[in-house]
Chain A
Amino acid sequence: MIKNTRKHPAAIDLDRRTFLKGAALGAAAMALPPADADAGFLESFFQKHFREMSDEEIKKVIDRLEKDYSKQFSKEVKVKATKPMENVVFGYGLDIGRCIGCRKCVQACVEENNQSRDPQIQWISVLKMKKGAKMADFQTADKYYQPEQVPEPGYFYLPVQCQQCEDPPCVKVCPTKATWKEKDGIVVIDYNWCIGCRYCMAACPYGARRFNWGTPNVPAEQLNPNTHYLGNRPRPKGSVEKCTFCIQRTREGRYPACVEACPVGARKFGNLADPNSEIRKAMEHFRVFRLKEDLNTKPQFFYFFGVKSNRAEGGK
């Protein structure tokens, strides 16, 4: 990693006691390879939980991270901590009638969200399913299809990513509260607080979470420098990550990258709290279902199929 000898204001702030405490713990850490044992190590070791930091403390941490990342990738990397907007609850819609299985969304997501290229991490899985297959039976699904051309006759496609559950089991099981649901409905992870126990991965019914089994690797020239602390900033080895509805974009009023990338317009996104939003309109227009409803996780990710008939609407 970074050979770091910089003097950061926060480094000077460390008083003697904290330093001694750190030295003791650091000595214990010596048993482990000192790959990240630079001056910033103590700061990141003692870094508090994101939600327990004041705005000032967050700023300090972000300064540190920006410097680290900029050095690591030899270009300027921005880390934001944009807060949720008032009266906004994000919702996502996906029209499986339209999806052609081209995986343009997957690619856009990897690029936007700085997912490791090697080992490969992808937040979106597109499942190829036989037409006529039982919907609930994922066992007939194929995630690794490699045809010459999509769509293939006789199949439909079901993209799955984090469903931003209203009652997320991943949050419930996390022993450290490293993952939580934000006011705007996005389930986020503090990568610096996660201990990598992977209980959340066992608990997620949608296979949405990814673990950094090795050191994540994104070539510097491909790194998207516009990042969010709870979103697409570079992740440490040994922590968990997943889709955040492109928190770095959507909290600034932009679309998630996958919505923009979809060539057939199968992906819809918007504010569930606003009855006039695109997503609410779409929900009125289509038949809607959510994955694994029986588990009562209440996803904020809706799948659409077919247009609602007038009769279903009560014949207007």
Chain B
Amino acid sequence: MTTALINFFKDITNIFKGGPKYYMLMGILGAILAVGLGAYYLQVDRGLIITAMRDQVAWGFYIANFTFLVGVAAAAVLLVIPAYLYKFKPIKEVVLFGEIMAVTAIIMCLLFIMVDVGRPLFVWHMLPVIGTINFPASLLGWDFFVLNGYLAVNLAALGYALFCYSQGKPYSLKILLPIVIFSIPMAFSIHTVTAFLYGAVKARPFWNVSILGPRFLASAFCSGPALMLLVFQALRKYEKVDIEDKAIFKISEIITYALGINLFFLFVEIFTDFYSHTLNGASMHYLFFGIDGKTNLVPFIWTAVVLNLAAFAIMLTPKYRYNYKTLNIALVMMIIGVYIEKGMGLVIPGQTPDPLGEIYEYMPTTPEMLISIAIWALGAMIFIALTKFALPKIKAAKNFDH
């Protein structure tokens, strides 16, 4: 057992080894993180007053990033399903990278929640037993539960597969399969519960719509896997990981459908709000056209719409989808598009106008951005470190067949 464990952790030093380019990358990420820590110190000291959030818009950029990242995390199943349910071998070989991404995204989600709460030292109040979790009434309680559950499941699957690899043998599907199968409903639940977090709020008509859950799922299946595809190509190029074209093209095909559905859902919402033209449509109006000259979000949402439509057009054309250059352009456009639409484009208009009709234009402050960027940098570092640790094992595993 001890030798097995030693074998398992043998490659951990790998994290600190690499060429000058690697050190430079990690150095830059580390510097960004340090700046963010400074900004966070300021926030703890002075309070959330250093952000642009106020009583009228009580959730801002942090929660927007959180929402986007839940989608990224959930997307790992998009690899699990074809790999294990349909035994699509090319994808099976990259599932572990998807899981690393899910783990990273969930950690980032939890960090975004931590920096958002006003009294972070007391978040233990939200735990069961030692705290007083408001379960099942509070969707935030639920979310906390499923996010941590999903993290645990993915860590278990990842840990088990890597552990077997480090012993020089293939994993037993008997053990791994139940775990990954279980991760499928978990992925749907983190997404659905996060959508319900908003959908449950009857005070905010913009959020309180039943299409939110489906829309969340559809958008998760575009942005998350899109990010994954870019990472796969990088791994292939820089780490010589053997990833087949077939896997990449299969995934990009699925993304195309998801993006189409996502656009359709968005259209349905826009239609309903603008056609029925009730007072509840004010948020949608604010988002797309602004109200009384208050138009902060307008350029962003239109950018998102244009990017998503263009990405969809590219992806829909096989000629461009099978061409890495155009494919990557489309992927980047889609990631930015969904990031806007599902992040700020969802969180802010939900609270604007506020329940008493006031329009407070929210735009994140510099410290708020620095803290958020730092969490992204930390996420990148976690992903790189985990990948570095896992790579030798995964590469070695190539030699045996499952």
* Residue ranges of A at the interface with B (Cβ–Cβ < 8 Å): 29, 32-33, 35, 45, 49, 52, 119, 125, 127, 134, 136-141, 143, 160, 169, 172-178, 193-199, 201-207, 209-215, 236-240, 295
Give every chain B residue within 8 A of A204 (Cβ-Cβ).
Answer: 203, 355
Contacts A174-B134, A202-B201 given; does A127 touch B356 at CB 8 Å: yes
Does B358 contact A237, Cβ atoms closer than 8 Å?
Answer: no
Q: Which of B41, B138, B204 contacts A175 (CB 8 A)?
A: B138
Does A174 contact B138, Cβ atoms closer than 8 Å?
Answer: yes
Contacts A173-B200, A206-B355 given; does A198 touch B140 at CB 8 Å: no
Does B355 contact A140, Cβ atoms closer than 8 Å?
Answer: no
Interface centre among B202, B279, B354 (most CB of A within 10 A): B202
Contacts A197-B116, A209-B55, A238-B118 given; does A176 touch B126 at CB 8 Å: yes
A-B CB contact pairs (8 Å), 10 listed: A134-B279, A138-B356, A138-B357, A172-B138, A175-B134, A211-B118, A212-B47, A213-B48, A214-B47, A214-B48
A62 to chain B, nearest CB (A): 19
Known: A139-B353, A196-B118; 12 extra A-B contacts, CB below 8 A, are A29-B121, A32-B44, A35-B45, A137-B357, A138-B357, A139-B357, A140-B357, A173-B134, A176-B134, A195-B117, A202-B203, A210-B55
Query: How many angstroms between the C-alpha atoms of A52 and B132 in the bound complex?
Result: 10
Task: Give B332-361 interface residues, CB cut-off 8 Å to A.
Answer: 350-351, 353-358
Give every chain B residue within 8 A of A177 (Cβ-Cβ).
Answer: 132-134
Does A214 contact B46, Cβ atoms closer than 8 Å?
Answer: yes
Secondary structure type dominating chain A contacts? loop
* Residue ranges of B at the interface with A (Cβ–Cβ < 8 Å): 41, 44-49, 51, 53-56, 58-59, 113, 116-123, 125-126, 131-134, 137-141, 144, 200-204, 279, 282, 291, 350-351, 353-358
Q: Which of B133, B140, B355 contacts A199 (CB 8 A)?
A: B140
Secondary structure type dominating chain B contacts? loop
Give every chain B residue within 8 A of A211 (Cβ-Cβ).
Answer: 48, 55, 58, 118
CB-based nearest B residue for A296: B202
Query: How many angstroms between the C-alpha atoms of A134 and B356 in the bound complex?
Result: 13
Does B118 contact A199, Cβ atoms closer than 8 Å?
Answer: no
Give every chain B residue within 8 A of A125 (Cβ-Cβ).
Answer: 356
Give every chain B residue within 8 A of A35 (Cβ-Cβ).
Answer: 45
Q: Which of A33, A138, A195 contacts B126 (CB 8 A)?
A: A195
A147 to chain B, nearest CB (A): 18
Does B357 contact A215, Cβ atoms closer than 8 Å?
Answer: no
Does A143 contact B55, Cβ atoms closer than 8 Å?
Answer: no
Give every chain A residue within 8 A of B355 (Cβ-Cβ).
Answer: 138, 204-207
Give every chain B residue within 8 A of A236 (Cβ-Cβ).
Answer: 119
Give every chain B residue within 8 A of A213 (Cβ-Cβ).
Answer: 47-49, 51, 53-54
Q: Which of A143, A202, A215 contacts B58 (CB 8 A)?
A: A202
Does B45 contact A33, Cβ atoms closer than 8 Å?
Answer: yes
The 9 closest A-B pairs by CB, nearest first: A196-B118, A238-B118, A138-B357, A205-B203, A214-B49, A213-B49, A175-B140, A201-B58, A238-B119
Does A141 contact B356, Cβ atoms closer than 8 Å?
Answer: yes
Does A173 contact B139, Cβ atoms closer than 8 Å?
Answer: yes
Does B121 contact A32, Cβ atoms closer than 8 Å?
Answer: yes
Contacts A138-B355, A139-B282, A239-B119 given; does A175 touch B202 at CB 8 Å: no
CB-based nearest A residue for B144: A175
Does A193 contact B49, Cβ atoms closer than 8 Å?
Answer: no
A103 to chain B, nearest CB (A): 15
CB-based nearest A residue for B354: A207
Does A178 contact B119, Cβ atoms closer than 8 Å?
Answer: no
Query: How many angstroms between the C-alpha atoms of A172 and B203 in the bound complex?
Result: 13
